[in-house]
Amino acid sequence: MTRINLTVDGQRVADDVEPRMLLVQYLREKLGKTGTVVGCDTSNCGACTVHLDGRSVKSCNVLAVQADGGEVTTIEGLAGEDGQLHPVQEAFRECHGLQCGYCTPGMIMQTVDLLAENPSPSEEAIRLGLEGNLCRCTGYHNIVRAVQHAAGTTGAAEGASA
């Protein structure tokens, strides 16, 4: 076992973990952060995306021990303590940027990182920025609209192809 210390959604945690335990397993199984979903277990789908030290990572591709000393934000940590949705969460809700919801936490976490890096992305930049996150339900059109809405560029995707 290896001792890790990190901050998850603003709370300091210390735990003993197996050196081979994935961050996604740690978040879900040890901390109950089930909003971070396991999709493919191969880092191809992006459903498990979280922020590690302010950058999006696929948590099925990171060992929990690699997060030692770091700060992790999950989908549960985005909303305000009063339950107020993060602007990106609100945009996905407003623009119906989800269907079954399985990919949504990873899409939202990736979008937050994308908008931090590029606050006013073009449609092409949005599609490129979300490239590592797969959705099998929506066709991406409403996801792109949600990102544009969150960025304050609503309407730019109205004629966009899906």
Model pLDDT for residues 27-86, shown as the tens digit of each residue: 999 999 999 999 888 889 999 999 999 999 999 999 999 999 999 999 999 998 898 999
Quote the pLDDT of residue 65.
98
How many Å is the Cα radius of gyration of the chain? 16
pLDDT(161) > 80: no
Quote the pLDDT of residue 159.
39
pTM over 0.75: yes
90: exposed, middle or buried (C-beta count within 10 Å: 0-12, 13-18, 19+)? middle
Structural domains in the chain plus CATH codes: 2-77 (3.10.20.30), 87-151 (1.10.150.120)
pLDDT(158) > 60: no
Quote the pLDDT of residue 127.
96
Quote the pLDDT of residue 153.
63
Quote the pLDDT of residue 15.
97
pLDDT(23) > 50: yes
Quote the pLDDT of residue 41.
80
CA distance 27 to 141: 30
Q: Are 129 and 103 in contact (CB under 8 A)?
A: no
Cα three-residue angle 157-125-80, rounded to 5 degrees: 80
CA distance 147 to 135: 15
pLDDT tens, 109-153?
Answer: 999 999 999 999 999 999 999 999 999 887 799 999 999 999 996
Quote the pLDDT of residue 100.
92
